[in-house]
Amino acid sequence: MNKQYKFTIPGTLPGLNEYINAERGNRYQAAKMKRQAEDKIVMCIWEQAPGVKFTGPVHISYTWYEANQRRDKDNIAFAKKFVQDALVKAGVISNDGWGEIVSFSDEFRVDKSNPRVEVVIGSKEKGGE
In whole numbers, what is the pLDDT of the chain averaged over residues?
93
| Secondary element (H or E) of residue 110 | strand 101-110
Q: What strand order describes the sheet that includes 101-110?
A: 4-10, 116-123, 58-66, 101-110
The three-state secondary structure class of 59 is: strand
Q: How many domains does the chain have?
A: 1
Residue 107 has what DSSP assignment? E
Residue 27 confidence class, pLDDT cut points 50, 70, 90: confident
Task: Classify residue 128: in a domain, yes or no.
Answer: no
pLDDT for the residue numbered 126: 59
Task: Classify residue 129: in a domain, yes or no.
Answer: no
pLDDT mean over 20-24:
91
Residue 61 structural domain: 4-123
Whether the predicted pLDDT of 2 surpasses 80: no
The CATH number of whichever domain residue 10 belongs to comes to 3.30.1330.70
Task: Classify residue 54: in a domain, yes or no.
Answer: yes
Single-letter amino acid, residue 61: S
Q: What is the pTM of this model?
A: 0.91
Task: Classify residue 100: in a domain, yes or no.
Answer: yes
